Amino acid sequence: MTDVQDSDAALWLAASSGTERAFVTIFDRYRSRIFSAAFRRTNKVSDAEEVVAIVFLEAWKLRKRVRIVDGSLLPWLLAVTANVTSNLSRSQRRYERMIARLPLPPEQEDHTSLVDERLDSLPYRKAIDEALKALSAGDRAVVELCLIEELPLAAAAAALDLPIGTVKSRLHRARKQLQTRLAVAELPDNLFTMNTAEEVA
Amino acid sequence: MPSQDPKMTEVRTDAIRGLLAETIRDEPEFRRRRIRRRLLIWGGVGLITIGGLSTAGSVLFGDAPLTDQSIVQCFSSTVPNADGTFPGSGATVATKDGPGRVDDALALCSEMWRHGILSSGYDPTAATYAPEETEVPALQVCVMRDGTAAVVPSEDAAICQALGMSALAR
């Protein structure tokens, strides 16, 4: 059970008041989740690590605009992750000085085979990636939060600071575009027709 | 399949953690606030000296009335150091006169305990200091040989005599 003092809201309040330990606690709480989301988009460990650093640096920079959704920072952090990864080069340039201070990635095991395996096990992955890249940044962020991260519509709307109706319409439009683009890939019928509980309701 | 995902490397995770902590530490807004807070503590409460308290000789002998109210010794332990001094802090108070001086001494040391300054983990040389609420132990006000107050952590009302000091006359 999360103690009130350990809640995201309490930690964020402490962190944004300059308490390093609170910020580091938030970092440790969500870094794995952010890294996974970043790795899904970059397929490169060192890039995904840099995304994690950038996301938390952005969170610090935008600390007065952070949105806590249902008591959690995660939706907002995932929205920042989506923004950062969709403009990775620009983000890396913006935080170039900070990133340069990170140690070089250690000699890592080659993840290419892992990535290949993932692609093999998800035969539509490449086509989906390309179709996602073809979406506008706004639509893509909605798709990433609602369909890939499986956040509820309301949480995604709050994280993106959009009305829920806008999120629904973007999702609808994105699904149509994805279905059109992926029609040739013979995707399973239900791939982009998953509905969140709210939509069903 | 998240379980197949690689993990962040430990060395870069540690580096990112350090980078974030440093970013917060170096934030001008908080650096200024820290300086202000330090000045407030040092100016309002007085000069706080941390470390070994060099009061060995004067503390341990004789009885004396509370004649010097300009300084308070806040002991962090009743167990003396190897050189006979007591660990703790000396603090001066801002005003010299006025009622409730003994209460002031008690309140002053209680405040230092509350902020963790007398806790064993407190590092006076640390670059940053984030006050934490620490439980205040039972405290006794004693009078040292030189007439200054010493606030000792103990529930034992006879601790002053046990340490060679006078209990404060009520």
For residue range B140-152, what is the model confidence (pLDDT) as tens digits? Answer: 888 888 888 889 9
pLDDT of A167 over the 90 cut: yes
> Between A and B, how many residue pairs show a Cβ–Cβ distance under 8 A?
88
**Together in a domain, B48 and B123:** no
**Of B15, B36, B61, which residue constitutes the final position of a domain?**
B61
CB contact under 8 A, A52 and B25: no
Q: Which of A26, B15, A142, A91 is nearest to A34 (CA)?
A: A26
Q: Which of A181, A91, A165, A90 is nearest to A131 (CA)?
A: A181
**Together in a domain, B100 and B142:** yes
Quote the pLDDT of residue B53. Answer: 46
Q: Which of A21, A40, A102 is the closest to B19 by Cβ?
A: A102
Quote the pLDDT of residue B153. Answer: 92
CB contact under 8 A, A52 and B16: yes
Quote the pLDDT of residue B40. Answer: 72
Does pTM top 0.90 for this prediction? Answer: no
**Together in a domain, B100 and B37:** no
Half-sphere exposure of A153 (CA within 13 A, CB side): 18
CB contact under 8 A, B33 and A18: yes
**Of B16, B34, B61, which residue constitutes the final position of a domain?**
B61
Quote the pLDDT of residue B168. Answer: 81
* Residue B92 falls inside a structural domain: yes
**Together in a domain, B27 and B111:** no
Quote the pLDDT of residue A186. Answer: 61
pLDDT of B27 over the 80 cut: yes
**Together in a domain, B57 and B108:** no
Rounded to whole angstroms, how far apart are CA atoms A15 and A23? 5
* Residue B11 falls inside a structural domain: yes
* Residue B1 falls inside a structural domain: no
**Nearest-CA distance A46 → chain B (Å):** 8
pLDDT of B56 over the 50 cut: no
**Nearest-CA distance A4 → chain B (Å):** 16
**Together in a domain, B50 and B131:** no
**Together in a domain, B22 and B95:** no
Q: Say what the ipTM of the complex is.
A: 0.76
* Residue B152 falls inside a structural domain: yes
**Nearest-CA distance B6 → chain A (Å):** 7
Rounded to whole angstroms, how far apart are CA atoms A144 and A131? 12
Rounded to whole angstroms, how far apart are CA atoms B74 and B139? 10
Average pLDDT taken over every residue of chain A: 82
pLDDT for A61-120, tens place per residue?
Answer: 988 888 888 889 999 999 999 989 888 888 888 888 888 888 888 765 555 555 555 555
**Together in a domain, B81 and B55:** no
**Together in a domain, B77 and B126:** yes
**Together in a domain, B28 and B110:** no
* Residue B148 falls inside a structural domain: yes
* Residue B66 falls inside a structural domain: no
Quote the pLDDT of residue A108. Answer: 57
Quote the pLDDT of residue A180. Answer: 86
The range of the structural domain enclosing residue B31 comes to: 7-61
**Together in a domain, B78 and B54:** no
**Together in a domain, B94 and B159:** yes
* Residue B39 falls inside a structural domain: yes
* Domain count of the fold of chain B: 2
| Confidence at B121, pLDDT banded by 50, 70, 90 | confident
Quote the pLDDT of residue A184. Answer: 64
Quote the pLDDT of residue B78. Answer: 87
* Residue B142 falls inside a structural domain: yes
pLDDT for A30-53, tens place per residue?
Answer: 999 999 999 988 888 999 999 999
